[in-house]
Amino acid sequence: MSDTATAPPLDEDDSELKRSITGRLLFFYTLGDVLGSGIYVLIGLVAAAVGGAFWIAFALGVTVAAITGAAYAELVTKYPQAAGASLYVNKAFGSRPLTFLITVSFLAASMAASGSLAVGFASYFDTLWSGPPALLVSLVFVALLVVVNFIGITESVVMNMLMTFVEVAGLLIVLVIGIVYVFQGNADFGVLTHIDTGGDFGSPALAVLAGISFSFFAMTGFENTANVAEETIDPYKSFPRSLVGGMVVAGLVYVLVSMAAALTVPTETLATSDAALLEVVKAGILPFSTDLMTTLFSIIALVAITNTTLVTIVTQPRVLYGMARQDVVPAVFAKIHPVRRSPWVGLIFSGLVVGSLLVIGTLVTEAGGGIDLVGRLATVTVVLLLAIYALVIVACLRLRGRDEHDQVFHASTPLLVLGFVGNVAILGFTVYDDPHSLIWCAGLLGVGLVLFLAEYFFGSKGTGATTPDLEEV
């Protein structure tokens, strides 16, 4: 239908989810998810790939991600329902196999991201208490977030907003350190233009592209926002401003923090650190006890990583819940707790899969597998999400002129084309640089295939539609 119509009243939706997320909460939900998802964990890898000018990688990466976010904003205002990319691909192509592949890919990416962040959490935790093994810390961390998720969606989103303030405070500390260092007259601004061409990539263009590939993990997270569309108050107005606005603010913070880190700490130090931003605090530039500042910043970093991981774990059981209601995976994943109204089976399953990734990755690393577990799981996440992002942009363009109404947000067509090219280019380089990541991707997708086959051969068709309401997670 090409004619523009009035937006459908939200109270006439057939949603069984509770609308409780305001536009302000949604903005912080997006900002908190994006800010904590990589800048605290992967900045060292980006610095190692690019050199002192690694801020360029963050700037270009967030540009591609923000354009993709605009495509999501347009589609959410057309279809303010849960399921995100799966819904949009299904609307655009009407292909059940393709929709299933996108759904499982998104679920797999979310689980890989949770694993990478859990390892990053353990790295910062080690600076405070080096007693427990890193694997144990990571597993307990995931288990605790599963419990928090069980309590409720409103509580989780409010907690997300509070933790966002904390993680922004940590990044402001880095910015203040950079500003003080500049005013002391010690900064060498030439560092900001230095691109390492003597490393593995050989040319400035490839070095920057490698940096974008690593940094793109820090840009992900905004796609989780689309999955709470049915729980957002007035999504037509809230989503464009909150989603794109959150991405722009996060991108600006990333660039400034990258510059501050590059000016105050040698790139080699950042590149070899498991907690690179902590090196900025350890430089002792502020007139406070270095030990005190190190402890404070480590706690802030733990809160930031917790924030992002919480959001990814919020998403996973919802995806399983939706798939179960469509008879794609066993109906047990549509079971909800009678009191908390939470999809407890999906939560437990998600926690077990993430835990398995951590255990397998740790065993491979200790056996001499030669992998950086944080980097590998981040790469798996990026590969899966880049493929999804590219297809979402295609779906957005394909759906132009269909289901239009007067409150639809329209993204710029030339920008969407540019975003598609950017996503495909980053995806191609990422796979070329780390082809073994495809094995991990296949393993995660295989979990979804097993669930699909279990439902196909042993499931009771039609049970999903009669499951109880999911009001709060």
pLDDT digits (tens, 9 = 90+) for 95-148: 888 888 888 998 899 899 899 889 989 988 998 888 899 999 999 999 999 988
29 pLDDT tier (thresholds 50, 70, 90): confident
Is the residue at 7 inside a domain? Answer: no
Is the residue at 211 inside a domain? Answer: yes
Say how far apart CA 157 and CA 311 lie, in whole Å. Answer: 8
Say how far apart CA 177 and CA 315 lie, in whole Å. Answer: 35
Q: Check: CB of residue 79 under 8 Å from CB of residue 420.
A: no
Tokens representing residue 230 in the block: 């049915």
User: Which range, 1-10, 193-202, 288-297, 391-400, is most confident?
Assistant: 391-400
pLDDT at 83: 67
* R_g of the chain computed on alpha carbons: 22
Say how far apart CA 21 and CA 12 lie, in whole Å. Answer: 18
pLDDT at 5: 61
Is the residue at 4 inside a domain? Answer: no
Is the residue at 37 inside a domain? Answer: yes
Average pLDDT, the chain: 84
Question: pTM of the full predicted structure?
Answer: 0.83
Range of 293's domain? 15-460
pLDDT-above-70 percentage for the chain = 88
21, β-bridge pairs: 232
pLDDT at 435: 93
Say how far apart CA 6 and CA 249 lie, in whole Å. Answer: 31
Is the residue at 3 inside a domain? Answer: no
pLDDT at 186: 87
Is the residue at 40 inside a domain? Answer: yes
Is the residue at 6 inside a domain? Answer: no
Give burial (CB, 10 Å; 0-12/13-18/19+) of 243.
Answer: buried
Say how far apart CA 198 and CA 315 lie, in whole Å. Answer: 41
Q: 3-state SS string over the chain? A: CCCCECCCCHHHCCCCCCCCECHHHHHHHHHHHHHHCCCCCCHHHHHHHHCCCCHHHHHHHHHHHHHHHHHHHHHHHHCCCCCCHHHHHHHHHCCHHHHHHHHHHHHHHHHHHHHHHHHHHHHHHHHHCCCCCHHHHHHHHHHHHHHHHHHCHHHHHHHHHHHHHHHHHHHHHHHHHHHHHHHCCCCCHHHHHCCCCCCCCCCHHHHHHHHHHHHHHHHCCHHHHHCCHHHECCHHHHHHHHHHHHHHHHHHHHHHHHHHHHHHCCHHHHHCCCCHHHHHHHCCCCCCCHHHHHHHHHHHHHHHHHHHHHHHHHHHHHHHHHHHHCCCCCHHHHCCCCCCCCCHHHHHHHHHHHHHHHHHHHHHHHCCCCCCHHHHHHHHHHHHHHHHHHHHHHHHHHCCCCCCECCCCCCCHHHHHHHHHHHHHHHHHHHHHCCCHHHHHHHHHHHHHHHHHHHHHHCCCCCHHHCCCCCCC
Q: Between residues 155 and 353, which one has the greater pLDDT?
A: 353
CA-CA distances (angstroms) from residue 259 to 120, 267, 277, 410? 22, 11, 12, 33
Is the residue at 8 inside a domain? Answer: no
CA-CA distances (angstroms) from residue 62 to 47, 200, 466? 16, 24, 42
Instruction: Give the CATH number for residue 362.
Output: 1.20.1740.10
Tokens representing residue 93 in the block: 């192509």
Range with the poorest average pLDDT among 43-47, 129-133, 301-305, 369-373: 369-373
398 pLDDT tier (thresholds 50, 70, 90): very high
CA-CA distances (angstroms) from residue 105 to 101, 109, 111, 123, 154? 6, 6, 10, 27, 26
Total domains, the chain: 1
pLDDT at 468: 47
Tokens representing residue 238 in the block: 């809230």
Tokens representing residue 287 in the block: 């007139």
pLDDT tens-digit profile of 40-90?
A: 878 888 998 899 999 999 999 989 999 999 999 899 888 877 667 888 888
152 pLDDT tier (thresholds 50, 70, 90): low
Q: Check: CB of residue 50 under 8 Å from CB of residue 205.
A: no
pLDDT at 40: 81
Mean pLDDT of 22-30: 79
User: Which range, 195-199, 253-257, 308-312, 403-407, is most confident?
Assistant: 253-257
Mean pLDDT of 249-265: 92
